[in-house]
Structure 1
């Protein structure tokens, strides 16, 4: 492999506590009991509004998704301040860069915030390209964004490894013809990741075994 496309939330950025905390805040007015990370992972899927319907046990009303999403991000942006990179994220970025190969970042988080946060953490120079969500509905799938990301990189998908924490990352990779490794530090349960048939790792550095 010559290039890695990293996911951000739940992969390089260890923010599961902020995600779960924000979700609990969103559904507190609905009378739902607070979730821990395992309960959240059991409900999580993409698109996110499907996960919300699972939690509520009913379809969302007209306009309700937009209200819930705005509330989630209001709480998330407050809680994420205490989050940091995954334990071995920085060493992985350095190791891959030192090998002379390239890497990029593709996230469904708001592009401006993503660029600002990676700069704040001092890791933006490691990426040949950073793409967050510039337009389109938040909470949706990653496939069309992966297509555009790979096209912008002018990369051969057969030489690309996608590393992410959700099945959506793997499906997007498969769609463009890239390989994928799924990481257990994020929002999807290990059991669900393993059932997908894609390689699963508990440490980001273990993903490099699938890049050779």
Structure 2
């Protein structure tokens, strides 16, 4: 599958924050009287757009204005809990190894851009990326496909030479949307069975992911 450029996902891929996401989600839905989720329970309902996952949890459509309030509350809790999170096992090694090979990589996330760039800098990995894009305006929790198209166009790399490494079916859809390949990682938000249904390769570590990208 040898490719020239990797587009990395952040949450659940390079940044191991599944427990912060689950705990923040439980905080959001505590007033609704829902039983707390564990990681597997969260993965069973997770999808994008995220408001659909919330509707699955509640068993009903969201009311007008409810999504905005739930999203605000989630991020209040998440931004506190994420301080206990760090890079995924092997992330630093694979980033450094790909950079040392002379090939390029970038970071695309649907997390807020300012927070994304600040966290990547705090963790000392921002210099590995030729471009970092988070969400600048727009509706949080939505699909990544159009953002992927803009990201790849800004980099100026032929999508046929791009591999997207992420943890969600939405990453697969975004890769397919631009004509790129994808490798999907099981350590994030999505069940293995759902990742496998995309038709793209599925791995259990970032070391495996980079080996496939390098193959």
TM-score range, shorter-chain basis? Answer: over 0.9
Distance in structure 1 (CA, Å) of the matches to 2:210 and 2:168: 18
Single out whichever of 137-146 and 189-198 deviates more from structure 2: 189-198
Q: Equivalences for 1:118-157 in 2 at 5 Å? A: 118-157=120-159
2:32 aligns to what? 30
2:168 aligns to what? 166
Distance in structure 2 (CA, Å) of the matches to 1:155 and 1:55: 39
Please state whether the residue corresponding to 2:184 is helix, strand or coil.
strand
Q: Equivalences for 1:53-202 in 2 at 5 Å? A: 53-202=55-204
Cα distance per residue 1:83-107 (max 9 Å; x no partner): 0000000000001001000000000
1:6 aligns to what? 8
Cα distance per residue 1:114-141 (max 9 Å; x no partner): 0000000000000000000001100000
**Which ranges in structure 2 are unaligned for 5 or more consecutive residues?**
none
Distance in structure 2 (CA, Å) of the matches to 1:197 and 1:89: 24
What TM-score does the superposition give when structure 1 sets the normalisation length? Answer: 0.99
Cα distance per residue 1:42-84 (max 9 Å; x no partner): 0000000000000000000000000000000000000000000
What TM-score does the superposition give when structure 2 sets the normalisation length? Answer: 0.98
Cα distance per residue 1:144-195 (max 9 Å; x no partner): 0000000000001010000000000011001101000000010001121112
Aligned length: 212
Distance in structure 2 (CA, Å) of the matches to 1:173 and 1:28: 35
1:49 aligns to what? 51
2:21 aligns to what? 19
Please state whether the residue corresponding to 2:107 is helix, strand or coil.
strand
Q: CA deviation at 1:209?
A: 3.1
Q: CA deviation at 1:208?
A: 2.2
Distance in structure 2 (CA, Å) of the matches to 1:65 and 1:161: 32
Please state whether the residue corresponding to 2:140 is helix, strand or coil.
coil
